[in-house]
Amino acid sequence: MLNSVGKKAALFVLLTFCAVPPVTAGWFDNAVEGAKQRIGTRAVNETAEGTYDAAKDTLLNKEKGGSAKGAKGAKPSQGGSSFKEPERHRPAAGEAGEAIDDEHFIQKDDYFVSKRALEKSSYIYVTLSKMVTEPSARTKGEAEFFKITDGSNVWSKFYYQSAIAQEGDIRLGTQVIAFEGHVNDGVYMAPETKEEARREAWFLAKVTDVSDVYRGYVTVSGNYKIGLNNLRKLLPKTPLPTSQE
């Protein structure tokens, strides 16, 4: 809100503009200087910029034959400021610069990579990675991966894409991936932040006991308890392209 001095400053500058045609480039500056001499430098400086914009819009509307009330479609102020901050564009899914995380902070193009298969081991560690070279017959089914944790590259044929497991996915013998970095009362729980999810270890194991689902966890090989919110199912692999010879 303008105080009484500010209102006088704005009125003086606006009246000066309306009374004197802007025939010279410095007409507005002259009006401001005159107002400073009569009302005060600070009051004029605080209001001159806004007054100039309003006066300029009025002049442009008159020159174009438009109404001084505003441009087409503009709504008049309802007793307050009509300014609205411009909407900020959020990139849609798939646009460059944005990666879509799930509830575990895992992205659609993330892979979990290991040096060997689970086979008879109770569990194996898997490393969060990005695929940089696709597998082919020429590479004997191996793909090249960039490891998120340390930035190194590795070739492997033991790699898995995954999704958060739902209740119907949890069965005896099912291979699941779980986060190791967050333990609560002996139960491995889902990551709480993106930083820990993409920095700490994940491991692959088999579900061996589902009798405690009602308690919120299952047991996997190695006798480790995994929270239901910390289970990822393995997605089917894409078949290798047929060699065109």
What is the residue-wise DSSP string for 17-59? HHHS---STTHHHHHHHHHHHHH-HHHHHHHHHHHHHHHHHHH
> Is 92 inside a domain boundary?
no
Confidence at 239, pLDDT banded by 50, 70, 90: confident
Task: Sort 207 into a burial class: Cβ within 10 Å, 0-12 / 13-18 / 19+.
Answer: buried
Residue 89 pLDDT > 80: no
| Whole-angstrom distance, CA of residue 125 vs CA of residue 111 | 13
| Whole-angstrom distance, CA of residue 110 vs CA of residue 129 | 6
- Examine the domain organization and report whether 125 and 207 are in the same domain: yes
Average pLDDT over the chain reads 75
| Whole-angstrom distance, CA of residue 120 vs CA of residue 126 | 16
CB 178 within 8 A of CB 230: yes
- Examine the domain organization and report whether 115 and 205 are in the same domain: yes
Which comes out higher in pLDDT, residue 62 or 235? 235
Tens of pLDDT along 10-41?
Answer: 555 455 545 545 444 455 556 556 655 555 54
Which comes out higher in pLDDT, residue 197 or 37? 197
Task: Using alpha carbons, select from 224, 205, 206, 225 the residue that is nearest to residue 215.
Answer: 225
Q: Tell me what the mean pLDDT of segment 113-135 comes to.
A: 97
Residues in the chain, how many?
245
Q: How many structural domains comprise the chain?
A: 2
- Is the overall model pTM greater than 0.85, yes or no? no
> Is 25 inside a domain boundary?
yes
> Is 82 inside a domain boundary?
no
Ranges 3-7, 102-106, 208-212: which has the least confidence: 3-7
> Is 72 inside a domain boundary?
no
Range of the domain at 120: 110-234
